[in-house]
């Protein structure tokens, strides 16, 4: 008798695989945050100045440290963005493992991977700038297209293609 998997079993295994991938990535966010630093766009990052300018008084340094560098989107430091995205990945990984929350978690992962496209595009732009290196160009040229299958995989777990 041939073994056949139901669609539900296939989706459960796929969700567990994506969950494992997200957990490994979340762990890496905290163990090797510098790996993710290039894909956090500068326009999202607040620049912390505390301790750098000795000519300023304490109030000026504090005001400079809390002011967004590049506008309204620069609400966290690069390190904080990396930590928050690691926490979001860990939460999504758990959500994918729980059947009642799987669809919502998969939608969240789809949105998260889609949002990460901006960081990958920005990293690629910087890699091909005058300050970019051949190594950065290779890495980011390969890294950007990997987002597409991840987005499609997460979207499939959300049940977007199923009609019933």
pTM of the model: 0.78
Classify residue 36: in a domain, yes or no: yes
Residue 160 φ then ψ, to 5°? -65, -30
Classify residue 26: in a domain, yes or no: yes
Classify residue 89: in a domain, yes or no: yes
pLDDT of residue 7: 81
Contacts of residue 37, Cβ cutoff 8 Å, sequence gap at least 6: 78, 82
Contact, 14 vs 157, CB < 8 A? Answer: yes
Burial (CB < 10 A; 0-12, 13-18, 19+), residue 12, is middle
Classify residue 15: in a domain, yes or no: yes
What is the spatial distance between Cα 142 and Cα 79, in angstroms, rounded to a whole number? 24
pLDDT of residue 46: 85
pLDDT of residue 129: 92
Classify residue 52: in a domain, yes or no: yes
pLDDT tier, 3 (very low <50, low <70, confident <90, very high otherwise): low
pLDDT of residue 77: 92
pLDDT of residue 88: 97
Q: Which domain holds residue 151?
A: 8-157
3-state helix, strand, coil in the chain (%, to 5): 70, 0, 30
Classify residue 163: in a domain, yes or no: no
Classify residue 54: in a domain, yes or no: yes
Classify residue 164: in a domain, yes or no: no
Q: pLDDT by residue (tens digit) across 71-130? A: 677 889 999 999 999 999 999 999 999 999 999 999 999 999 999 999 999 999 999 999
pLDDT of residue 67: 46
Q: pLDDT by residue (tens digit) across 35-71? A: 999 999 988 888 754 434 434 443 443 444 444 455 6
pLDDT of residue 1: 56
Point out which residues pair with 76 in neighbouring strands. 45
Q: What is the DSSP letter of 37?
A: G
Total structural domains within the chain = 1
> In a 3-state reduction of DSSP, which class is residue 76?
strand
pLDDT of residue 161: 53
């Amino acid at each position: 008798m041939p073994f056949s998997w139901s669609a539900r079993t296939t989706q459960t295994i796929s969700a567990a695989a994506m969950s494992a991938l997200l957990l490994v990535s979340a762990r890496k966010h905290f163990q090797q945050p510098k790996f993710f630093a290039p894909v956090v766009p500068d326009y999202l990052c607040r620049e912390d100045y505390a301790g750098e300018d000795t000519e300023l008084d304490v109030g000026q340094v504090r005001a400079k440290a809390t002011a967004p560098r590049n506008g309204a989107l620069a609400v966290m430091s690069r390190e904080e963005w990396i930590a928050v995205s690691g926490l979001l990945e860990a939460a999504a990984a758990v959500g994918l493992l729980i059947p009642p929350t799987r669809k919502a978690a998969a939608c969240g992962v789809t949105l998260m991977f889609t949002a990460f496209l901006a960081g990958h595009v920005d990293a690629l732009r910087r890699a091909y700038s005058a300050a970019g290196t051949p190594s950065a160009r290779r890495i980011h040229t390969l890294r950007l297209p990997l987002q597409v299958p991840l987005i499609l995989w997460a979207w499939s777990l959300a049940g977007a293609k199923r009609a019933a």
